[in-house]
């Protein structure tokens, strides 16, 4: 008995450390797109509301949310902040992002609650004349990166015609140079990191704070009576959300955000009820696959909101999805000790009913909130 207790404690420490290490290295990410045209540079900064809260203070909301009207009211301050923290300059000019074209709220909802700040993105648009593509330019985001902190990654995407180059700027490597005459390929130099780490981190940070996705997984696995069934359920969920994620990002599958969010809450309630009534538990993989398609549409919202360039989009989706999978596995591994302790004991039924009951109540609350929003 003592040996089993010791084994359980070691397992909890190991898997807990794994989950904690993943969480500790999660970074926030934004995207700076530079569209290189014949006679102008179009600059867009895409970020989320959680990041913007570090820049400007929105009106106090007891629930911690942000309204669309609050963003519009604060847009002049946000634009001025970006101008003073990102420098775009030619060899003979003063740094300037150009003329502002406003701030765009990228959500169907008029309000973003505290739980959806990171998934609600905004776009800041600027445009600056360029001497018909014959002048090199220098981009420095040192001010932005210093203010947002060392964990912030800024993906820079330079788009010209059908080609796109991407790199990542950090506090260590905060600037790039672009010279159209350097080579036929028109090189971008200065960025020392690929976009893999940034997009991988976006995937991890999307799943780990995603309490609805994780609660769905916990409710699924609490009644998995064998390793084989557990692996089958996780695989079905993974394959399904990978398929719908790709289809949604490429625009093949379009479902309103509100419908997706309500369906995710409904999927949790459905699984919880099945657990509590002990119905259809033997052949659950089909239902898991179907609901995985729904959750994949939720994952796709983060990538769609960032408006990544279509050039190299497959690679971006792959990196993001890998991050989602690692975050998901970290959670599953952290959950295993609890399932291991409960399995075959007097606590098994109680743990099932406790987790399923909590999941059902929370799912119904979220469903009501999302329908009302």
Query: Which one has a higher pLDDT value, 300 or 81?
Result: 81
In 3-state terms, what secondary structure has residue 127? strand
CA distances from 104 to 48, 119, 295 (A): 11, 14, 26
The first and second tokens of residue 196, run together, are 């893999």
What average pLDDT score do residues 58-80 get? 84
pLDDT of residue 108 exceeding 80: no
> What are the domain boundaries of the chain?
2-24+208-372, 31-194
Query: Which one has a higher pLDDT value, 93 or 49?
Result: 49
Percent of residues, the chain, with pLDDT higher than 90: 11
In this predicted model, what pLDDT tens digit does every residue of 10-23 receive, in sequence order? Answer: 444 344 434 433 33
pLDDT of residue 275 exceeding 60: yes
Report the distance separating Cα 177 and Cα 137, nearest Å. 6
Concatenated DSSP letters for 190-241?
S--B-SHHHHHHHHHHHHTT-HHHHHHHHHHHTT--SHHHHHHHHHHHHHHH
pTM: 0.64
List of residues 6+ apart from 253 with CB closer than 8 A: 244, 247, 297
In this predicted model, what pLDDT tens digit does every residue of 276-310 receive, in sequence order? Answer: 887 666 678 888 899 999 998 888 876 776 667 66
The pLDDT value recorded for residue 126 is 92
Query: Which one has a higher pLDDT value, 12 or 230?
Result: 230
In 3-state terms, what secondary structure has residue 103? strand
Structure confidence at residue 329 as a pLDDT band (50, 70, 90):
confident
The pLDDT value recorded for residue 26 is 42
- Block residue for tokens 């609805």: 212
Helices (DSSP H) in the chain: which residue ranges? 2-24, 49-52, 68-85, 142-148, 196-207, 211-221, 227-249, 257-277, 285-306, 313-342, 348-372
The first and second tokens of residue 295, run together, are 């959750």
**99, 71, 77, 57 alpha-carbon torsion, rounded to 10°:** -160
């Amino acid at each position: 008995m003592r040996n089993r207790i010791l084994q359980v404690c070691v397992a909890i420490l190991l898997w807990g450390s794994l989950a904690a290490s993943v969480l500790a290295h999660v970074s926030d990410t934004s995207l700076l797109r530079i569209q290189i045209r014949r006679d102008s540079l179009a600059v867009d900064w895409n970020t989320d509301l959680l990041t913007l809260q570090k820049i400007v203070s929105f009106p106090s909301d007891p629930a911690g949310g942000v309204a669309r009207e609050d963003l519009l009211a604060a847009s002049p301050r946000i634009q001025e902040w970006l101008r003073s923290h990102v420098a775009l300059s030619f060899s003979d000019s003063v740094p300037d992002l150009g003329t502002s074209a406003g701030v765009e709220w990228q959500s169907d909802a008029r309000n973003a609650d505290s739980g959806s700040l990171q998934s609600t993105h905004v776009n800041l648009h600027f445009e600056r004349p360029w001497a018909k593509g014959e002048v090199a330019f220098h981009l420095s985001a040192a001010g932005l990166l210093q203010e947002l902190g060392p964990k912030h990654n800024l993906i820079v995407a330079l788009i010209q015609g059908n080609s796109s180059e991407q790199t990542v700027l950090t506090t260590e490597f905060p600037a790039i140079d672009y010279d159209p005459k350097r080579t036929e390929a028109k090189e971008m130099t200065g960025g020392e990191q690929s976009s893999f780490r940034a997009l991988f981190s976006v995937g991890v940070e999307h799943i780990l704070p995603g309490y609805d996705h994780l609660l769905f997984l916990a409710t699924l696995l609490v009644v998995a009576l064998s390793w084989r069934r557990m692996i089958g359920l996780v695989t079905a969920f993974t394959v399904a959300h990978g398929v719908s994620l790709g289809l949604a990002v490429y625009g093949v599958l379009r479902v309103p955000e509100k419908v997706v969010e309500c369906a995710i809450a409904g999927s949790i309630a459905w699984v919880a009820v099945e657990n509590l009534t002990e119905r259809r538990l033997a052949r659950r993989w089909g239902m898991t696959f179907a609901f995985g398609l729904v959750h994949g549409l939720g994952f796709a919202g983060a990538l769609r909101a960032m408006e990544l360039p279509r050039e190299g989009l497959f690679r971006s989706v792959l990196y993001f999805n890998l991050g989602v999978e690692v975050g998901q596995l970290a959670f599953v591994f952290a959950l295993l000790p609890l399932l291991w302790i409960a399995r075959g004991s007097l606590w098994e039924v109680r743990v099932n009913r406790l987790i399923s009951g909590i999941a059902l109540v929370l799912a119904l609350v979220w469903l009501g909130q999302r329908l009302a929003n």
